[in-house]
A and B are shown apart, each in its own frame.
Chain A
Amino acid sequence: EVQLVGSGGGLVQPGRSLRLSCVGSGFNFDDYAMHWVRQAPGRGLEWVSGIDWNSGAAGSAASLKGRFTISRDNAKKSLFLQMNSLTPEDTALYYCARDKRRTVGGNPFDLWGQGTLVTVSS
């Protein structure tokens, strides 16, 4: 089955770090750019970060001010998001999503994971 399965979410205190993971199966993981998209409770979708198929280029939302880092391990068919200096405003459901192409740009996200919930609270 073609799918993405995210993990690593949970309850974390403000100022701490958390690392999310996403594993792809049923397709050639290294043929696609990958992204993280988040959705705060009752809110819309917000692009977080994207990375090219070979990690050659990556980008993140400017609003994150460099606190989050995206990476991937194609051998393990895995995507990661290292989140530092977390604040309550980072509380959201974090989705991993597959890009239709190899490089990050205005391409559609044609496969989504189920989401992993991150709650930042003391």
Chain B
Amino acid sequence: QSVLTQPPSVSGAPRQRVSISCSGSSSNIRNNAVNWYQQLPGKAPKLLIFYDDLLPSGVSDRFSGSKSGTSAFLAISGLQSEDEAEYFCATWDDTLRGVVFGGGTKVTVL
């Protein structure tokens, strides 16, 4: 059971917009920045969004991040087949004194 809760899967048609939630608590998301990772099938994770809403160089601006209270959100606009992957949120937990990950959300393009 992960400390951060994500939906197991989301799906959408090409060019649609999908959103992935990441639910935590006051000991993690409320007080610390959230980072998002994309893991393509058979590949290592890749940093997608950092410090809640910043994009690393080279990442498409179709991806965006936001946070409200104890939840964070990853949005993918203009969905493309290459976006089919697993997405993980992560942050620091002040009580556990360590990094915690969400269970991951598999995105399927219909």
Q: Are A62 and B96 touching (Cβ within 8 A)?
A: yes
Contacting residues of chain A (86-122) with chain B, CB-CB under 8 angstroms: 95, 97, 100, 105-110, 112-115
Q: Are B45 and A112 touching (Cβ within 8 A)?
A: yes
- In the assembled complex, the CB of A69 is this many whole angstroms from the nearest CB of chain B, namely 15
- In the assembled complex, the CB of B42 is this many whole angstroms from the nearest CB of chain A, namely 10
Q: Assuming the A-B contacts A62-B96, A108-B35, A112-B44, are A47 and B91 also in contact, with contact meaning beta carbons closer than 8 angstroms in the complex? A: no
B109 interfacial contact with A, CB 8 Å: no
In the complex, residue of chain A having the shortest beta-carbon distance to the beta carbon of B50 = A108
Report the Cα distance A35→B50, complex, angstroms.
17
Q: Are A44 and B104 touching (Cβ within 8 A)?
A: yes
Q: Are A106 and B44 touching (Cβ within 8 A)?
A: no
Q: Are B99 and A44 touching (Cβ within 8 A)?
A: no
- In the assembled complex, the CB of B25 is this many whole angstroms from the nearest CB of chain A, namely 14
Report the Cα distance A37→B37, complex, angstroms.
13
Q: A59-70 vs B: 1/0 string, CB under 8 Å?
A: 111100000000
Q: A39-67 vs B: 1/0 string, CB under 8 Å?
A: 00000111100100000000111100000
- By a CB distance below 8 angstroms, the chain A residues around B86 are 44
Q: B43-61 vs A: 1/0 string, CB under 8 Å?
A: 0111100110000100000
Report the Cα distance A59→B96, complex, angstroms.
10
Report the Cα distance A87→B59, complex, angstroms.
38
Q: Are B47 and A45 touching (Cβ within 8 A)?
A: no
Q: Assuming the A-B contacts A45-B45, A95-B44, A112-B44, are A59 and B98 also in contact, with contact meaning beta carbons closer than 8 angstroms in the complex? A: yes
Using CB atoms and an 8 Å cutoff, list the residues of chain A in contact with chain B. Answer: 35, 37, 44-47, 50, 59-62, 95, 97, 100, 105-110, 112-115
